[in-house]
Structure 1
Amino acid sequence: MSNAELSLLNGISQRAQRLDESPIRSIANYGMGKNDVTPLWFGEASSATPDFICQAASESLSRYETKYTPNTGLPELCQAIAHYQNNLFGSHFAPENVSITVSGTNAVMIAAQSCLNPADKVVVIEPLFPTLAAIPEILGCQVIRVALKTKGKTFYLDTEELFSSLHGAQALIINSPSNPTGWVASKELLTEILKFCRQRGIWIISDEVYSRHIFDSEAAPSFCELVSEYDRVIICNSFSKAWAMTGWRLGWLNIPKALIPTVRKLTEFNVSCASAFSQAGGLAAIEQGEDFVQSSVAALKKSRDCMLQFLGDLPNTTLYEMKATFYGFLKIDGLGYDSQPYLREMIDKAKVGVAPGEAFGVSGAGHIRICHATQLPLLKPALERVREFILNVKPF
Structure 2
Amino acid sequence: MPNAELSLLNGISQRAQLLDESPIRSVANYGMEKDDVTPLWFGEASSPTPDFICQAASKSLSRHETKYTPNTGLPALCQAIAKYQNNLFGSHFSPENVSVTVSGTNAVMVAAQSCLNPADKVVVIEPLFPTLSAIPEILGCEVIRVALKTKGNSFYLDTDELFAALSDAQAIIINSPSNPTGWVASKELLTEILNFCRQRGIWIISDEVYSRHVFDKKAAPSFCELVDEHDRVIICNSFSKAWAMTGWRLGWLNIPKSLVPTVRMLTEFNVSCASAFSQAGGLAAIEQGEDFVQSSVAALKQSRDCVQHYLGDIPNTTLYEMKATFYGFLKIEGLGFDSQPYLRQMIDQAKVGVAPGEAFGVSGAGHIRICHATQLPLLEPALERVRAFILNVKPF
TM-score (norm 2): 0.99
Q: Which amino acid aligns with 1:79?
A: Q
Deviation at 1:342, TM superposition (A): 0.3
Deviation at 1:5, TM superposition (A): 1.8
Q: Which amino acid aligns with 1:392?
A: N
Report the secondary structure of 2:172's partner residue: strand
| Alignment match, 1:284 | 284
| Alignment match, 2:223 | 223
| Alignment match, 1:195 | 195
| Alignment match, 1:262 | 262
The 5 Å alignment of 1:22-41 reads 22-41=22-41
- Post-superposition Cα deviations, 1:135-159, rounded to whole Å, max 9, x if no partner, equal 0000000000000000000000000
Report the secondary structure of 2:76's partner residue: helix
> Hey, what's the Cα distance between the residues in 1 that align with 2:130 and 2:278?
26
- Post-superposition Cα deviations, 1:327-386, rounded to whole Å, max 9, x if no partner, equal 000000000000000000000000000000000000000000000000000000000000
| Alignment match, 1:370 | 370
Report the secondary structure of 1:136's partner residue: helix
Q: Which amino acid aligns with 1:191?
A: T
- Post-superposition Cα deviations, 1:10-52, rounded to whole Å, max 9, x if no partner, equal 1100000011210000001111131100000000000000000
| Alignment match, 1:317 | 317
Size of the aligned set, in residue pairs, is: 396
| Alignment match, 1:351 | 351
Q: Which amino acid aligns with 2:48?
A: A
Q: Which amino acid aligns with 2:195?
A: K
Q: Which amino acid aligns with 2:247?
A: G
User: Runs of at least 4 residues of structure 1 off by over 4 A?
Assistant: none
The 5 Å alignment of 1:234-273 reads 234-273=234-273
Report the secondary structure of 1:34's partner residue: coil
| Alignment match, 2:124 | 124
Q: Which amino acid aligns with 2:135?
A: I
- Post-superposition Cα deviations, 1:303-340, rounded to whole Å, max 9, x if no partner, equal 00000000000000000000000000000000000000
Residue 333 of structure 2 corresponds to residue 336 of structure 1: no
Higher mean alpha-carbon deviation, 12-21 vs 197-206, is at 12-21
TM-score (norm 1): 0.99
| Alignment match, 1:169 | 169
> Hey, what's the Cα distance between the residues in 2 that align with 1:119 and 1:165?
15
Deviation at 1:4, TM superposition (A): 2.3
Report the secondary structure of 2:303's partner residue: helix
Deviation at 1:124, TM superposition (A): 0.2
Q: Which amino acid aligns with 2:199?
A: Q
Report the secondary structure of 1:237's partner residue: strand
Q: Which amino acid aligns with 1:16?
A: A
Report the secondary structure of 2:69's partner residue: coil
> Hey, what's the Cα distance between the residues in 1 that align with 2:299 and 2:175?
23
Deviation at 1:130, TM superposition (A): 0.1
- Post-superposition Cα deviations, 1:184-233, rounded to whole Å, max 9, x if no partner, equal 00000000000000000000000000000000000000000000111000
> Hey, what's the Cα distance between the residues in 1 that align with 2:303 and 2:78?
33
Q: Which runs of 5+ in 2 are unaligned?
A: none
| Alignment match, 2:296 | 296
The 5 Å alignment of 1:135-146 reads 135-146=135-146
Report the secondary structure of 2:204's partner residue: strand
| Alignment match, 1:76 | 76
Q: Which amino acid aligns with 1:138?
A: I
- Post-superposition Cα deviations, 1:64-107, rounded to whole Å, max 9, x if no partner, equal 00000000000000000000000000000000000000000000
> Hey, what's the Cα distance between the residues in 2 that align with 1:289 and 1:175?
24
**Root-mean-square deviation (Å):** 0.6
- Post-superposition Cα deviations, 1:103-132, rounded to whole Å, max 9, x if no partner, equal 000000000000000000000000000000
> Hey, what's the Cα distance between the residues in 1 that align with 2:34 and 2:68?
40
Q: Which runs of 5+ in 1 are unaligned?
A: none
Deviation at 1:2, TM superposition (A): 2.5
> Hey, what's the Cα distance between the residues in 2 that align with 1:171 and 1:328?
29
Report the secondary structure of 1:381's partner residue: helix
> Hey, what's the Cα distance between the residues in 1 that align with 2:183 and 2:371?
15
Report the secondary structure of 2:174's partner residue: strand
> Hey, what's the Cα distance between the residues in 2 that align with 1:96 and 1:58?
27
Report the secondary structure of 2:123's partner residue: strand
